[in-house]
Amino acid sequence: MSGRAQPEPLCQDRAVALGCREHVHRWLRSTGLAAAAVLVAAACRLVGALPCRLDSDCPWGQRCTATVCAAASGTDDTPGEGEGEGEGEGEGEGEGEGEGEGEGEGEGEGEGEGEGEGEGEGEGEGEGDPCDPAAADEDVDGIADACDNCPATYNPDQANSGDTDSVGNACDPRPDADDAIVLFESFNGTMDAAWSVIGPAGECGWDVDAAQGRLVSTLDETTNECIVAFPVPDADVIVEAQARYQAIGAYVCNLFVAARVTPAPGDEVWDGYSCSARMPDAATGMLRAFSFDDSSGTSLGEVLVAPFAEGETHVLRAQIDGDQLTCALDGSVNVAAASGTWTAGRVAVGAFNARAEFDWVVAYARRD
Ligand SMILES: [Ca+2]
Ligand SMILES: [Ca+2]
Ligand SMILES: [Ca+2]
Ligand SMILES: [Ca+2]
């Protein structure tokens, strides 16, 4: 764009002519031709495509387009620009309103409203209800093990009278005195980590048969002895187990529960007191109370019973009450003996020259 005035086209009407004069004045002043502006303005009757650099060089209602003024395509209703912002969760709507002026500047206001709805899924770990009837129920009486007052004895009524303990009448070792269940192991998949194996390394061991809910010895019927023990901090204790011979060996066999075992884990010898379902030979069954000292057993008393057979289920009980020992088979055969007092230790189950399996072990202690 040069500083020279351009030929002026014809004015189309008075309003535009007035705008033309103002424009020409402004333009000529800006170009240093103020004197000429007066003359030109006075004579101006023609307006049209005025030269320009900016919209402001043009009359009102025109815009500077390609260096000449031309009627704006929009005047009052020139669209503005608006911006709207919405905040919300889920859905948001924004509205913008703009007001335009001739120069095409707009202001916008926006409002947004949003509403959101969310759904979440969470995962949590928690402990289930131990009394849930769907939980492990060893005796199948409808009361889950953890809440059963006799977890190994069918007693759906949970009757408990005559004392103030939490042991049901159906299994209470002392119906008129207070006791507590200090151990119940059902071998339904796992064993409490507190169990420990006692016996010859590499020969002795026990596996949980989760499908059957049993503890099975891994020793064969020629292995001398293998024990699995659990700590119980009571001197007077009763331990009871349901068990059977799985394989009876050719030598003297024992299947037993022990109310006291005192070696450190891993020891191959032990002291204690056990109640044994014994087979001195294939034709003889015996219930014997043993006292052990460095694994050397001394009989405290014994009675003959029918020979045991492989797969035959029995319940053995060993009890320490002060200096009194009791060994019982199936609740009907007993051997009682006197012995010294015992300190706290571990209870145990085990086998000798036989492969054995145990369905459950329960232990009670005095609480009166
Ligand atoms: Ca039960
Ligand atoms: Ca029960
Ligand atoms: Ca009771
Ligand atoms: Ca009791």
Q: How far is the CA of 255 from the centre of ligand 4 (A)?
A: 27
Unique residue bearing structure tokens 């031309």? 70
Residue 111 within a domain? no
229 found inside a domain:
yes
Ligand 3 (ion): which residues have CB within 5 A? 160, 163, 165, 167, 172
For the chain, list residues with pLDDT below 70: 1-49, 56, 58-61, 69, 72-127, 220-223, 263-268
Q: How far is the CA of 156 from the centre of ligand 3 (A)?
A: 15
Q: Looking at the structure, do residues 37 and 172 belong to the same domain, yes or no?
A: no
| Euclidean distance between the first and the last CA atom of the chain, given in angstroms as a whole number | 115
- Greatest CA separation for the chain: 148
Q: How far is the CA of 185 from the centre of ligand 1 (A)?
A: 13
| Last residue within a domain, chosen from 38, 53, 71 | 71
User: What's residue 265's pLDDT?
Assistant: 60
Clarify whether residues 48 and 163 are in a common domain: no
Q: What is the amino acid identity at position 241?
A: A
Grouping H, G, I as helix, E, B as strand and the rest as coil, residue 188 is coil
Distance 200 CA to ligand 2 centre (A): 36
Cα 169 to ligand 3 centre (Å):
5
Residues 173 and 309 reside in one and the same domain: yes
| Among 71, 86, 108, residue at a domain's last position | 71
Cα–ligand 1 centroid distance for 136 (angstroms): 8
Q: Is residue 355 part of a domain?
A: yes
Based on the domain organization, do 53 and 197 belong to the same domain?
A: no
Quote the percentage of the chain above a pLDDT of 70: 67
Q: Are residues 202 and 328 in the same domain?
A: yes
Closest-approaching ligand to the CA atom of 174: 4
Whether 222 and 324 share a structural domain: yes
Let me know: does 45 contact 17? Beta carbons within 8 Å.
Answer: yes
User: Do 184 and 42 fall within a single domain?
Assistant: no
Write the DSSP assignment of 146-178 as a string of letters.
GG-SSTTS--TT----SSSSS--TTT-SSTTS-
Task: Please write the tens of the pLDDT for every residue from 299-355.
Answer: 999 999 999 999 999 999 999 998 899 999 999 999 999 877 777 789 999 998 888
CA of 170 to the centre of ligand 1 (A): 12
318 Cβ partners below 8 Å, 6+ apart? 238, 239, 256, 257, 258, 259, 273, 274, 275, 289, 325, 326, 327
* CA 130 to ligand 2 center in whole angstroms: 14
Give the separation between CA 289 and CA 250, rounded to whole angstroms. Answer: 22
Q: How far is the CA of 159 from the centre of ligand 2 (A)?
A: 10
Q: Tell me which residue range forms the domain holding 26.
A: 14-71
Residue 5 lies in a domain: no
* Same domain (yes/no): 35, 160: no
Per-residue exposure over 146-162, b if at least 16 CB sit within 10 Å of its own CB, e if not = eebbbbbbebeeeebee
Let me know if residue 42 belongs to a domain: yes
Q: Which ligand is nearest to the CA of 158?
A: 2
Q: Please check whether residues 53 and 152 belong to one and the same domain.
A: no
What pLDDT is stored for residue 63 in this prediction?
A: 77
CATH number at residue 193: 2.60.120.200
pLDDT tens across 52-71, in order? 777 767 666 677 777 876 77
Q: How far is the CA of 195 from the centre of ligand 4 (A)?
A: 26
- Among 71, 88, 108, where does a domain finish? 71
Evaluate whether residue 309 is within a structural domain. yes
Q: How far is the CA of 308 from the centre of ligand 4 (A)?
A: 31
The model's pTM is 0.65
Determine whether 204 is exposed, middle or buried from the number of CB atoms within 10 Å of its CB (0-12, 13-18, 19+): buried
57 and 169 co-located in one domain: no
Give residue 5's pLDDT. Answer: 38
Domain count across the chain: 2
Q: Give the rounded distance of the alpha carbon of 51 from its chain centre.
A: 79
Q: What is the pLDDT of residue 244?
A: 97
**Rounded to the nearest 5°, which phi and psi values hold at 38?**
-60, -45
pLDDT score for 221? 63
| pLDDT computed for residue 267 by the predictor | 65
Same domain, 288 and 203: yes
- 172 within domain boundaries: yes
Amino acid at position 53, single letter: R
Rounded to whole angstroms, the Cα distance separating 227 from 264 reads 12
Q: How far is the CA of 183 from the centre of ligand 2 (A)?
A: 14
Domain assignment present for 156: yes
d(CA 186, CA 359): 6
| CA 153–ligand 2 middle distance (angstroms) | 4
Do 213 and 320 sit in the same domain of this protein? yes
For residue 152, the CA-to-ligand 4 centroid distance in Å is 16
